[in-house]
Amino acid sequence: MLKLSVLDQSTAAQGYPQDQAIRDTVALARACEDWGYHRFWVSEHHNHPTIVGTAPEIVMAAIAQATDRIRIGSAGVMLPHYAPLKVAEQFRVLDALAPGRIDLGLGRAPGSDGKTAMALNPNGMEDAEHFPANVRDLIQWVTGEALVDGHPFGDLKALPMTDTTPDVWMLGTSDYGAQVAAHFGLPYSFAHFITDGGGVARALDIYRAGYKPSDRYPAPYANICVWALAAETDEEAERLFWPRAYWKLMRNRGGLRALISPDEAANHPYTDSDRRFIEEMRSHALIGSAPRLADKLRELAETYKLDEIVVLTWAHDQQDRVRSFELLAREFGLDAGNATP
């Protein structure tokens, strides 16, 4: 059976305080565990008016205390901002809070603009150039393995020591991430929602063809993360899609902002070219009634030979987002009893 997982970005919505978005993420994680979703990931973005989840490791700690079974992960930690040892320590602490349930998803992109990335780490550009070596060190620290011979920090340990260790994932939207994941024998997640599906097939082919088996992952394992929304009817799903369409149109013009309501987005004075852009978006969007959307997700899984799909959903109102995940869980027959690490 196809596994369904969740990515949540703690999106800001007009008319609601930003701190509510963080609490909504934790509440959604609780609900997704009850419905039987396999894992729940949170993202990292900085200085972004729409996506206010800036510290995934802290949100994960809150989710760990609010749940019992569902896997919890980062999608991801943008490693060039941080020292590998510190990230390893954070995720070993998380594993102590939720033993055997932690995923450490890593990315190379800044998750921000260049100025913000510089503020986070003035040496970030140089660290990005050393990304594979930093990934290697992080894997060894977080799993308790010895660092490579002659490493200047080879005598250091990432604490606390525990009976379990986080699973390390590589995230990406290009050939590079697929190559790094294959080289280290890591599971790989492609951000389909960023590229609208562009490059998925090539990246997965590169990953699978170049995969070097590791002790923890003797065979390649990949998923894709898609933007999708389910509602009671196709018409309602199309109505709820308006804030996403409006946001993307404004983003392409350099304007990032909190999500506006479906009615406000639908009634915006669009030009003819705006409407053509939105209709093009709508034509390939993963939206619809739960049966219709489920068919689309199964088709994607079949096309890319996947056992798991991660779903990201934006909606202006939290209740619409929650309802979307509830409808999908019901359509796929998810079982909370199977949502074990």
Tens-place pLDDT, residues 226-265: 999 999 999 999 999 999 999 999 999 989 999 999 999 9
Instruction: Give the residue with greater pLDDT, 341 vs 48.
Output: 48
DSSP reduced 3-state for 72: strand
The amino acid present at 214, given as its one-letter code, is S
Least confident of 60-64, 111-115, 119-123, 208-212: 111-115
Of 313, 263, 253, nearest to 285 (Cα)?
A: 313
Residue 145 scores a pLDDT above 90 = yes
The CA distance from 290 to 226, in Å, is: 15
Least confident of 89-103, 122-136, 171-185: 122-136
8 A C-beta contact, residue 300 and residue 284? no
Identify the pLDDT of residue 127.
76
How would residue 129 be classed by pLDDT, with cut points 50, 70 and 90? confident
Identify the pLDDT of residue 341.
43
Residue 339 scores a pLDDT above 60 = no
Positive or negative torsion for Cα 181, 183, 184, 187 = positive
Phi–psi pair at 312, nearest 5 degrees: -110, 130
Identify the pLDDT of residue 340.
46
CATH number of the domain enclosing 255: 3.20.20.30
What residues contact 5, with CB distance under 8 A and at least 6 apart? 37, 38, 39, 40, 41, 71, 223, 308, 309, 310, 311
8 A C-beta contact, residue 294 and residue 4? no
Q: How many CA atoms lie within 13 A of 336 on its CB side?
A: 10
Identify the pLDDT of residue 147.
96
Identify the pLDDT of residue 81.
93
Instruction: Give the residue with greater pLDDT, 124 vs 250.
Output: 250
- Interval 107-129 mean pLDDT: 84
% of the chain residues with pLDDT over 90? 90
What residues contact 57, with CB distance under 8 A and at least 6 apart? 74, 77, 90, 91, 94
Identify the pLDDT of residue 113.
84
Q: Which domain holds residue 199?
A: 3-338
User: What's the total number of domains in the chain?
Assistant: 1
Q: Exposure of 114 by Cβ count < 10 A (0-12 exposed, 13-18 middle, 19+ buried)? A: exposed
- Interval 327-341 mean pLDDT: 78
How would residue 338 be classed by pLDDT, with cut points 50, 70 and 90? low
What residues contact 333, with CB distance under 8 A and at least 6 apart? 1
